[in-house]
Amino acid sequence: MSGRPEAGQRLRRLLAVLTWLARLQRAPVAELAERFSMSPEELVADLELAACCGLPPYTPDQLMEIVVDDEEVVANLGDELARPRRLTAAEGFALAAAARAILDSAGVGADGAGEALASALAKLEAALASGSGGQHPEGNGDGAHSSSTSGGLQVDLGGAAHLAEVRAAVEGGRQLAVRYYSMSSDEESERVIDPLAVVAMDGRWYLDAYCHRASGIRRFRVDRLVSVAETGEPVDHQRNPLETGTAQTAAFLPGPDATVVTLLVDPEVMWLIEALPVVSLSRSSDGRSEVRLAVASTVWFERLLLRLGPHAEVVAPAELAEVGRAAAARLLDRYRRSTR
């Protein structure tokens, strides 16, 4: 099973599902799950939760009418949820900026989905222009700038020294040898990577790649690539096909300096899943959950293990298996010294 979404993300997704259902009133389970990138099991679980919600005093006649069977969902959710949402000017501008950034990214816009997005953006920009006299506030963020001319929106995500090179490597499936600067360690490291995808997030460009040094997929900030050179070898998509297939869709990928740690945790500490971004989550045969976390700081990991106490066991890597016990021993020794 992949990493479970956090509570806020799950709520936003459920509201989107309910809004869609309110207009359709009925839809096949498989079709609805595919549309919102969920498994049928996740969809049914969320809808069962929604069926327990309604208006005060929460009597049966005030709860949402949702009926789910093996094949279909039938819902009577009223006109309020079915009514199209009215965006504020700020929400509309943010949505337009995000859409324009996607269209301006390399490789977007040539297919049918790109054409549909461009058409929707044109309508949104026209509505924004008519609602504000053609004037939009200018905004610039960390590496991003946006402006408007006659109601049209232009977004510049900023360049990076080796952006064109890594894009070409992704498109050509070519392996790279890179020198990468790490802000956390203030050091440069040399790595051989298999580029998989270039993504834009929060005004910055990132490269998702299989890192041979870390033996896993990592996310590199493109502006921290000191040097980039092709090795002459093709990307090895057979090395780790499961991870390679999820690189572009993963909500969270660890940084180059992170160590992926595997924990077995008891149900008592499952708050961990909501509190921290996890690489993956699965169920163990003994009833515990197997959680994979990206750890960039041993000190932070020690504090986490102290909070988890006896309800967590470090499975891998072996060199971190005793970190929690060692931290607890140091803490106990310090306490004893202070009480003498």
The fold of 259-338 is Alpha-Beta Plaits (3.30.70)
- pTM for the whole structure: 0.46
Confidence of residue 137 (pLDDT cuts 50, 70, 90): very low
Q: Where are the domains of the chain?
A: 7-82, 89-156, 163-246, 259-338
Q: Indicate the pLDDT class of residue 280, thresholds 50, 70 and 90.
A: confident
Separation CA 50–CA 55 (nearest Å): 12
HSE (side-chain half, CA atoms, 13 Å) at 230: 14
Tens digits of residue pLDDT in 100-128: 777 766 555 555 667 788 888 888 888 88
pLDDT band for position 242 (cuts 50, 70, 90): very low
Q: Residue 150 pLDDT more than 50? A: no
CB atoms within 10 A of CB 206: 21
Query: Exposed, middle or buried: residue 251 (CB in 10 Å: 0-12, 13-18, 19+)?
Result: exposed
**How confident is the model at residue 55, as a pLDDT?**
74
Close Cβ partners of 145 (under 8 Å, ≥ 6 residues apart): 139, 155, 156, 158
Q: Which CATH class is domain 7-82?
A: mainly alpha
- Buried (b) or exposed (e) across 122-138, using 16+ Cβ within 10 A? eebbeebbeeeeeebee
* Cα radius of gyration rounded to whole Å, the chain: 24
**Averaged confidence pLDDT in the chain:** 77
Pair 251, 3: CB distance under 8 Å: yes
CB count in 10 Å sphere of residue 59: 9
124-133, 200-209, 249-258: least confident range: 249-258
Parallel, antiparallel, or unpaired: how do β-strands 187-201 and 174-182 relate? antiparallel
Confidence of residue 142 (pLDDT cuts 50, 70, 90): very low
The domain over range 163-246 is classified in CATH as 2.60.40: no
pLDDT above 50 for 82: yes
Give the tokens for residue 312.
């967590």
